[in-house]
Amino acid sequence: MKQFANDFMMGAATAAHQVEGNNIYSDFWTMEQVPYSMYKEPSLEAVDHYNRFKEDIQLLVDAGLNTYRFSIEWARIEPTKGNFEKREIEHYREVLEFCQQRNVTPIVTLHHFSSPKWLITEGGWESEATIDYFKNYTRYVVTELGDLIPYICTINEANMGKQIAKIMKRMTGANEKNEAGKKGDIQVGLTIDVKEKMENYYRALGEAFGMDPRNIQTFHSPRTDNGERIIMECHEKARNVIKEVQPKIKVGITFSLYDHQALPGGEKFVEKEYYEDFLNYLPYLQEDDFLGVQNYSRKIHGPDGYVKSDENTRLTKMGYEFYPEALGNVIRFVSKHWDKPIIVTENGLSTDHDEERVEYIERALTGVHQCIEEGINVLGYMYWSLLDNFEWQLGYEQTFGLIAVERTTQTRYPKESLSFLGNIKKAGLNE
C-alpha cells in the first residue's frame, strides 16, 4: 500500500455508552433495563473503558496509531437537568491529558446516540427546548476542557433518525417492496425488529420515563421534519458556542453515508437517497471546519428501488455487504459538494475472522489514498471500533473491534488488525 503523509491522522473510535459501562443516567440504560426490553442484553459494565482508558489508549499508541475519537457522555456530565457533575468533567480531562501525554490527537464527539434520561422526559429530540439544553451542555464542556480539544464532532450521525424513519416506512409496505428491517439496514445503529412484545415494551418504557410512550423521542426515534431541523439547530448553536469560547477548535458533524449505486433505471432512487442522507443538510454546514464521513457498505438501487442482496453476496457479521470500496466512492461523492476537509470518523466491519478485517482495512485505505492522490482533502481515518463493545440492541455479539475483550475479566487481547493498521501509519512516518 502507498504511504500516507506524516501528519495524516490514523486511529480508531469509540462511543461512551458502548464502552464505558454503568451509564446509569442515560436513556439507553433505561431502555435496556425495562421489562420486555428489545435489547438482547443490558450494557452493565460494558468493557469498563471508563476505568481502563489508559490501557486502551496505550494499546493504540503501541500499535503506532496517533488519533483517538471518543465521545463525552452528556448523561454523566449533566445527570439531572441543570446540574453539572464536576467529578465527571475531571474524568474526561484526565482522558484528554493522557492523549496529550502520549502524542495522540483526540477527536471529541459531544453526542453519540445516548442522551440524559431527563432530556427525554423534557420532550427529547422533537422539542425546541433541546436546542438550548444542548447549547448549555456544550458551553460547559468547552469552557472546562476546550483548551485540550483540537477537533469536535458536535453530533454523531445526525441523519440517523431519518434513516430509521425510512426503514420503518419500508417495513409497513409503504415504500419499496423488498424485505427491510434486517440487520444490515442501518450502519452501526439500531436494528428495527417488530415483535409481538413491542406493545409490552412500550408500555414499560412509558412507566420508566413517566410519560406517554408515544411521546418518547430518543435520538433514534423516527424523526419528523421538525425534529430534523432541531438536530441541525443544535449543531449550529453548539458550533457558535465552541467558536465563541475556543475559536481554535475545529468543528464538524458526522453523517452515516452509504455508497448508493444505480442499476439501469435506479438513478432516481440514488439521487433521492443522496439528497435525503446528505445534500439537504448542507445549508447547516457552511460554517463548519470539517465533515465526518461514516461508511460501512453500499446499497444498490434498481428500477423498483433498493435491491436486496442475494445468497451469493459476501456479507459481514452485521449483514452488510462486504464492500470496502464503498468508502472511497462516498468520499468522492461528498467532495463534489463539500470543498473543506473530510475526516473518516468511522469505517469498519463486524467479523469473527480478523483476516477479513485486515483485508477490509487494506482495501478501504487504498480507496482513501486514491482520493488523496486525486486532490481530495482527507485529514484522517478512524477505524470503528477500537474495542469489541456493546452494539446497542444487538448487545455484545457483534465484534467490530481491533481489540477483543474477555468481559468476565475485562482482559484485552489486541488483534492482528490493530498491528496492521498501526504498521500502515508507521510506514508513513518512516517515509
Whether 166 shows a pLDDT value over 90: the answer reads: no
C-alpha span between 366 and 3 (Å, rounded): 10
Among 17-31, 150-164, 194-208, the range of highest mean pLDDT: 17-31
Instruction: Note down the domain range covering 100.
Output: 9-429
The answer to whether 330 touches 323, Cβ cutoff 8 Å, is: no
C-alpha span between 400 and 385 (Å, rounded): 6
Helix (H, G, I), strand (E, B) or coil at 424: helix
Q: Side-chain half-sphere of 129: how many Cα atoms within 13 Å?
A: 10
Where helices occur in 104-197 by DSSP H, the ranges are 117-121, 129-145, 160-171
Mean pLDDT score, 298-312: 96
In a domain, 262, yes or no: yes
C-alpha span between 237 and 244 (Å, rounded): 11
C-alpha span between 114 and 263 (Å, rounded): 37
- What are 332-363's pLDDT values in tens digits? 999 999 999 999 999 999 999 999 999 999 99
Report the pLDDT value the prediction gives residue 384, as an integer from 0 to 100: 98
Residue 174: CB atoms within 10 A of its CB come to 8
User: 22 burial class (0-12, 13-18, 19+ CB within 10 angstroms)?
Assistant: middle
In a domain, 66, yes or no: yes
What is the percent of the chain where pLDDT is above 90? 89
Mean pLDDT score, 298-310: 96
In a domain, 2, yes or no: no
Report the pLDDT value the prediction gives residue 173, as an integer from 0 to 100: 55
C-alpha span between 115 and 96 (Å, rounded): 21
The cell numbers describing 127, all together, are: 422539542
The length of the chain, given as a count of residues? 431
| Residue linked to cell 435496556 | 32
In a domain, 54, yes or no: yes
The cell numbers describing 14, all together, are: 469509540
* Widest distance between CA atoms in the chain: 60
Local structure of residue 320 (DSSP, 8 states): -
Q: Closest by alpha carbon to 382, among 107, 24, 161, 40? A: 107
Q: Side-chain half-sphere of 314: how many Cα atoms within 13 Å?
A: 9
C-alpha span between 327 and 378 (Å, rounded): 12
Helix (H, G, I), strand (E, B) or coil at 341: coil
C-alpha span between 105 and 69 (Å, rounded): 8
Whether 194 shows a pLDDT value over 70: the answer reads: no
Mean pLDDT score, 39-45: 97
Helix (H, G, I), strand (E, B) or coil at 101: helix
The answer to whether 403 touches 391, Cβ cutoff 8 Å, is: no
- What are 44-58's pLDDT values in tens digits? 999 999 999 999 999
- What are 115-163's pLDDT values in tens digits? 999 999 999 999 999 999 999 999 999 999 999 999 999 999 999 987 8
The cell numbers describing 133, all together, are: 439544553
C-alpha span between 249 and 298 (Å, rounded): 32
Residue 191: CB atoms within 10 A of its CB come to 20
Residue 187's pLDDT band (cuts 50, 70, 90): low
C-alpha span between 193 and 186 (Å, rounded): 12
Please state the domain count of the chain: 1
Element (H, E) at 227: helix 225-245
Q: Decide which of 199 and 108 is more confident.
A: 108
In a domain, 195, yes or no: yes
* Domain of residue 42, CATH code: 3.20.20.80
Report the pLDDT value the prediction gives residue 186, as an integer from 0 to 100: 59
Mean pLDDT score, 101-121: 98
In a domain, 22, yes or no: yes
In a domain, 368, yes or no: yes
- What are 399-431's pLDDT values in tens digits? 999 999 999 999 999 999 999 999 999 997 655
pTM for the model:
0.95
In a domain, 120, yes or no: yes
**Residue 430 neighbours by CB under 8 Å, 6+ apart:** none
